[in-house]
Amino acid sequence: MATADLNPGVITPSAPPGNGLLVLLAAMTPEQLDSVFAKLTVSFPGEELLIATPDAISEALPASAHPSFRIVAAPASNTAWTLIATDFVNAYQLAEKHEARAILVLGSESGSLSSFALRQLANAALGPTDLAVPCYDLPPHAGLVNSAILYPLTRALFASRVRFPLAVDLGFSLRMAKRLADAAQHFTAINQGETPLWPVNEATEAGFTIEQFDVGSHVQSSRPDFNTIFPLVIASLFSDIKAKAAFWQRFRPLSPASIAIPMPPAPTIDTAADIAPMLSAFRLAYSNLHEIWSHVLSPNSLLMLKRLAATDAAAFRLSDNLWARIVYDFLLAYRLRTINRGHLLGALIPLYLAWVASHFNITASGANPEGHIEAVAAAFETEKTYMVSRWRWPDRFNP
Amino acid sequence: MQNILAVLLQLDPNQSSRSLFAGDTSIWHNMADALHQSLDRVLLLLIAVLPGILAFLVALAVFTLIGMAVSALLRRGLAAAKLDERLVDERGNSNWAPSTSPTALIARASFWGCVLLGLIIGVLAFDASYATTAILSSSLLPYLTRIVGAAVLLIAGTLIARFLARSVLIGAVNEQLQYARFLSLGIKWLVLVLTAAMVLEHLEIGGNIVGLAFGILFGGIVLTLALAVGLGSRDLVSRSLESRAEHPGQSSAPPPTAIADDSIRHF
């Protein structure tokens, strides 16, 4: 991959960065770029910093404002909401070209992170840690797909406590970058470069060290299209789990908690979300998608969903174990291609909305949201034996 | 008829009754002869066809057995060569399910290839044994291929109808359309009617009636769907128009749905 100089006055020939760190930025607006540059200036005072960005450095952001930065061009990514396979290939190639020892990848909204957090991620990557991941402090009604599926599934199968497995801000060592680039090349070779990659799963499988840092609040301004992104993310995670089946089927103890996960307060009545549209979506799906669900879910799960569909909004609770089994059954159906994969993941959306409605009901009753998410993750761990049994003997094992 | 009348007028009653009996006997003889002849012809036809049918069945059975053997051998050989693992290593995270692994696909393809070969050889043997004797051979074989084509059309149409019906159903449910099932059924029947018309057209059954009936049915289904969707969303449209009339400068925002709620962030 060739990198083109953006501004000849700014770019210096490829030489190792002062501290060995390459900062790779996502595509940003000038305001976002300005904010990130300001944070990096505070994080790395007086240090020479190699920054790769796909954005053109214009007059609005003169290079003279940040004399310690060496700015090089990076290929633009088509996807802003997450890191994709192409990003990891580019990151490794840039790191090799500029002889960097570690890489700090920052998403388009990383300007909202604290300077201290950026420094922590960079220091960890430059130190003995292979993968430094952020733990965002999100509001209770944010990051719900992560809380419902990504985090519990990653924790149960890969024994990792990383709270945000699909974080867009990451720090990683050169060997981790190589590992990720190798994994990413499988996708780029078959023109699937926009597939999200799962760094935590890769690091766990490789036996690399992972460290998680509390980076504070994270402002999200973009709103990706849910109906498009949800199947894409879940399909990518399911495929990754399928590819690493030999690894996660062996029992591994859960890594000890390194940091205290920020506990957002339970939402008050004023901030509680309206669950009525979600419940109506679930009930509509129950009356229409029952036939499709019956190909995937066990009769017991279907019976419990039937009862749930008839439950009042106030008493609506999707039990954690039922949710874990639903996700596992969909994962198995994905593996076995029980039905078309696009249909399968589309049929999961109403069930996910039922989980969200149930989660909101539980938190509205005074329970801490993070406490409930931890309970869901624990249920996934409990049900892992069911998952492993069905994975090994899909025809013989009938619940 | 004139001969019979002449005989009746010229002969006395005793003679006439005997002649009539004799004539009756000859009619029965003629009928029996005709029946015997047609039976002989059918038997001859069957005798002519039977070797062809037997050849067809034997060819099909033999090649099916060969296919099973080849498939089993390939399955074992490729499993021993670890083809699946090698392909996964080379191609990365491919989407092979256990039922559609490369080994299973190759084995299955070889089996069905042998069956198809047996079918072709059987049909050719049937043709060879049958062609010399009958007029039907020139029309039966092309029609057989038409039947096969029609069967393929029917299977493909049914699969496409099912796939589209499910896609529409899931998409409509996720868009929270109350008439999701109705829409899905409409799409399914549209494709099935189209398939049925194509199959009948391919088999040359019905002629223009099929096209006419298809046009009427297709148009009827589209009209029904349009009416149902139009009537179903009448309130929505009137509400939208009312709000536009009350606030002409503002664009009417849709009510929050399960997914597009501003207070919730799924990612």
CATH of the domain at A220: 3.90.550.10
Number of domains forming the structure of chain A: 2
Look at residue A190 and tell me if it is in a domain.
Answer: yes
Q: Are residues A48 and A134 in the same domain?
A: yes
pLDDT band for position A195 (50/70/90)?
Answer: confident
Q: Is B176's Cβ below 8 Å from some Cβ in A?
A: yes
Residues A231 and A96 in one domain: yes
The string of pLDDT tens digits covering residues A277-307 is 888 889 999 999 988 999 889 888 899 999 9
- Within 62-91 of B, beta carbons closer than 8 Å to A belong to 88, 91
pLDDT at B163: 93
8 Å CB contact of B173 and A350: yes
pLDDT in tens, A358-399: 998 888 888 888 888 989 999 999 988 888 888 887 765 454
**Residues of chain A contacting residue B266, judged by C-beta atoms under 8 Å apart:** 144-145, 226, 230, 356
For chain B, give the number of residues.
Answer: 267
Q: Is residue A59 part of a domain?
A: yes
Residues A289 and A181 both lie in one domain: no
Q: Do B170 and A229 touch (CB under 8 A)?
A: no
B257 min Cα distance to partner chain A (Å): 6
**Would you tell me how many other CB atoms lie within 10 Å of the CB of residue B153?**
17
State the residue range of the domain holding A96: 21-248
Chain B CB within 8 Å of residue A263 CB: no
Which segments in chain B show pLDDT lower than 50? Answer: 1, 5, 7-9, 11, 92-94, 249-256
**Could you say which of B88, B163, B267 has the minimum Cβ distance to residue A145?**
B267
Q: Are residues A244 and A280 in the same domain?
A: no
What ipTM is given for this predicted complex? Answer: 0.79
The answer to whether residue A232 neighbours chain B at the CB level (below 8 Å) is no
Does one domain contain both A244 and A296?
no
SS3 B205: coil
The answer as to whether A261 is a domain residue is: no
- Contact at CB, B91 and A353, closer than 8 angstroms: no
Domain boundary among A248, A264, A289: A248
Whether residues A364 and A309 fall in one domain: yes
Q: Considering all CA atoms of chain A, what is the largest pairwise distance in Å, rounded to the nearest integer?
A: 68
Mean pLDDT of all residues belonging to chain B: 76
A257 inside domain: no
Distance to chain B for A354, nearest Cα, Å: 10
Question: What is the rounded distance in angstroms from the CA atom of residue A27 to the CA atom of residue B3?
Answer: 109
Residue A399 resides in a domain: no
Residue A125 and residue A234 in one domain: yes
A242: closest chain B residue by CA: B93
Q: Are residues A298 and A205 in the same domain?
A: no
- The overall pTM is greater than 0.80: no
Q: Do A229 and A313 belong to one domain?
A: no
Give chain B positions within 8 Å (CB) of A240.
93
In a domain, A173, yes or no: yes
Whether A39 and A126 map to the same domain: the answer is: yes
- Kindly report the three-state secondary structure assignment for every residue of A219-258: CCCCCCCHHHHHHHHHHHHHHHHHHCHHHHCCCCCCCCCC
Contact A15, A97 (CB under 8 A): no
CB nearest B259 (choices: A186, A227, A243):
A227
B258 vs A278, A287, A288: nearest CB: A278
Quickly list DSSP for A22-88. Answer: EEEEPP--HHHHHHHHHHHHHHSTT--EEEEESS---TTS-GGG-TTEEEEE-PPPS-SSS-BHHHH
